[in-house]
Structures are given as C-alpha cells and as structure tokens.
Chains A and B, each alone.
Chain A
C-alpha cells in the first residue's frame, strides 16, 4: 500500500501545493507532512497527500550509498579466503562466527 511518486512543488497556498509530475500538474495536500517545503522542492505523494520532502542531493546521496556498499563489500571479499562456505545466520543469531583464514 505504498505507491508514492515524486513531484516538484510549484507553489504553496497554506496546506495545499500545486505540484508537477513531469509536466502533469495537480494539487496535493500537505496536512500529513512533517517536513517544511518550499517551491522547487520535490515531495513524495501518496493518494494526493505529500508524505516526505526530497531534495536533489538526496538522489546523489542515494547513489553514493549504493556505491559505498558495493565497493566495501568487494574490498572485504578480496581480503577474505576463497569460497569456504561460512556458517551464516539463517535464522536469528549465528551460532558460530564465520570461518576465518
């Protein structure tokens, strides 16, 4: 129950904003939004109500998080010994530590 699409805030009148989804304009209510928003910001909108403010920097930060994770995991894998199946936690807490060389 989570379909929410990002739209750009064009103008705000009290608790209602005019928003733009790639050239399609409509209004969205701001009553349920904790964040402050100003025209030019993006918001995530679910059933006609804004639920979160998004900024373009958030987009870049997201990519940075992806890249940071993959590079750190690749680095860890390069240091680890080749394919000894380590015991993983398949349910709850692992019973023993992963095997180390």
Chain B
C-alpha cells in the first residue's frame, strides 16, 4: 500500500531491486492483461512480442527513455546511447530491427550545434545497422524545467521466434560477448569531480551485426543486454525468472585492466555497472563452442567468453566461483553504485 508521503527516489530508476518492486506494485497490476504475443508485459523483458495471424514469427516492440550525464562522454553520447540501446533491446529479443521512432524533449537554450552532434550520432548508428527512423516528436521545455536533453526511442522489429530471458535449463552454458563494466566505469571516470584520466571508452555499440548469425543459428535459449544494474542485475533477473541457479567462474569473466583499476580505486564492482554494447546469452552446452566462434568472428566479440553454467543448486540465485576457489552469492544491486572508502 502506498504511504501518502511516499516519493520516487533515484533508487527507483536504477534498474535494481527497488525499480523491480515499483513495477510489481504499480505497473503490472494495472497493465498486465490479455496476452497478445509470447512475451508480454508480465515478462518484464527487454521488449514485448506481438503475434499476428499469417505472420511467421512475431513483431517485437521496445521503448526506452534516455537521460545521461554527461551528454557527451568518452566513446559516445546520448544519441549513440539511445539508438544503440533500443536496437540492442530488439536484438537481444532475437528481432531484426525494422524501424525506430525518435522523440526529443529539449531544454530552452540548448545549443543547436550540440543537438546536431547528437543527431549525427544517431544517424551513424542507424547507418551501421540499416534501420531507418520513421517518425518522431520534439518538445521544448522552459529553461530549468528539464536538464539539457531527454530522448525517447521506440523500436520495432521482427523475430522468428522471439528470444526471451527465462528459458534456462540445468547444464546450459552462460556466455558474454565481451568485457564487462566498460560503460559504467567510463562514465564514472568522466565525472569531473573525481579528477581521473583514462583511455577507457564506453562500449556503446549496436549488437545486431555481431549477433545476427548467432540468432540465425537458432541456438540461443535466452538473452539479455546487461545495461543499468550491470551483469549482476541481468543474471539475477534470469535466475529468478527461470528459478534456476547461475554459476559464474570469476576468472572467466573478461574485464579490462582500466575497469579493474577503477573498481579498485572507487570500491565499485564491475558487475554492478552498465554495459551498452554487450549481450549475455544462454545456450545448451553442445552449442557453446560454436556460439563462441560466431561471436569472436566479429570485432565487437573479440573478448567473448563462456563464463559459467546453469545448475539447479540454489534456485533463483547467482553464485560466483572466486579466484581462490571459494563461492559466494552475487547480489542484485540495490541502486546506482556509490564509491566507497571502506
């Protein structure tokens, strides 16, 4: 029950535990209803699917709003993030992207040259994938009523069949398409008040060119892109939905040196921060090597790795096998990570 003075806090938008609770309490009871496709609102997946008579496969629909600070960050900007983000939500649902919409809410006084840079970034991503923006919307708000620029992108694709994030079975293998923690750490490093210098870039990139052959092979059982909340959030989500256990070999998770360095100095785990150009996928054991080869065939997948397996030991939980040979749970993060000194 909602207390009368309850307020939305930043924790609610952070992609972790609290956001999940908000969706469960406020959104699902009101909007979860008749199923029009195999993946609906209740699945709380990266998107939803819609089946139509006479259509092989299903349409896939996804939407995202994008707020990022700073707007221009090492390796990209809000435009690249928005376009890649929505295309990736379609991709990890197994969908060939068909079209994007683009809506912008812009603060009065925003420099047009900045807007042009953002739009150019969006165009670059779309060119890479071959997907058009087909419609959009623009709103301007008075100065101070919004911070700079907010983007919303909706993506439409077609998948045959759609790939969800809950079909995990004991014995399956867990793969990631590349190094973990790059985007989140790059953005933390870019914060002026931290006075850090690094060549680490956000990994923001569209996944469709790398994943198309993997999807076509038809062997991916479940897939997610580990954005806000990081790999920890994505794996916990999959484990909970499937009520299986995911066991990850820490030594097998690819992590860049600079990400480890930032993790050490900030006291923040690479598992808890966003990735914007990576996918985590579940395949049957017999398909793991072949999937790995397909990923490594593409430049974005050069660090792809098999990082663990699905078991039935602690249903709904994620376990890490640590470098010394210990074991521990990997938790769902509570909110956006904060640097710690303890």
Contacts and interface: CB of A to CB of B under 8 A. Distances in A.
Chain B binds chain A: yes
The 10 closest A-B pairs by CB, nearest first: A22-B261, A21-B261, A5-B264, A23-B258, A24-B261, A22-B257, A25-B197, A24-B198, A1-B342, A26-B196
Given A3-B267, A5-B265, A7-B265, A23 B200 contact: yes
Given A5-B265, A45-B265, A22 B260 contact: yes
Given A24-B196, A24-B200, A25-B196, A3 B262 contact: no
Interface string B250-278: 00000001101110110100000000000
A7 B198 CA distance: 14
A26 B190 CA distance: 12
B264 A21 contact: yes
B341 A22 contact: no
Interface string B191-205: 000111111100000
A47 B342 CA distance: 10
B30 interface: no
A3 B196 contact: no
Nearest to A6: B264
8 contacts: A3-B267, A20-B261, A21-B262, A21-B265, A23-B257, A24-B189, A24-B261, A26-B197
A22 B197 contact: no
Contacts of A26: 194-197, 265
Interface size grouping (class) on chain B: 10 to 19
B340 interface: yes
Contacts of B341: 1, 3, 46-47
Contacts of A20: 261
A25 B198 contact: yes
B265 A24 contact: yes
Nearest to B194: A26
Nearest to B258: A23
Interface of B: 189, 194-200, 257-258, 260-262, 264-265, 267, 340-342
Interface of A: 1-3, 5-7, 20-27, 45-47
A23 B199 contact: yes
A2 B267 CA distance: 11
Contacts of A3: 267, 340-342
A27 B197 CA distance: 10
A45 B195 CA distance: 15
B340 to A, nearest CB: 6
A3 B263 CA distance: 11
Contacts of A27: 195
A23 B257 CA distance: 7
A24 B261 CA distance: 6
B258 A24 contact: yes
A7 B197 CA distance: 14
Nearest to A28: B265
Given A27-B195, A45-B265, 9 more contacts: A1-B341, A3-B267, A3-B342, A21-B262, A22-B258, A22-B260, A23-B258, A24-B189, A26-B197
Given A3-B267, A5-B265, A45-B265, A24 B342 contact: no
A20 B200 CA distance: 13
Contacts of B260: 22
B265 A23 contact: no
A45 B261 CA distance: 12
A84 B199 CA distance: 60
A5 B264 CA distance: 6
B286 to A, nearest CB: 37
Contacts of B261: 5, 7, 20-24
Nearest to B195: A26
A2 B200 CA distance: 27
Contacts of A6: 264
A47 B341 CA distance: 7
Nearest to A23: B258
Nearest to B198: A24
Contacts of B197: 24-26
A6 B264 CA distance: 8
A46 B265 CA distance: 8
A20 B258 CA distance: 10
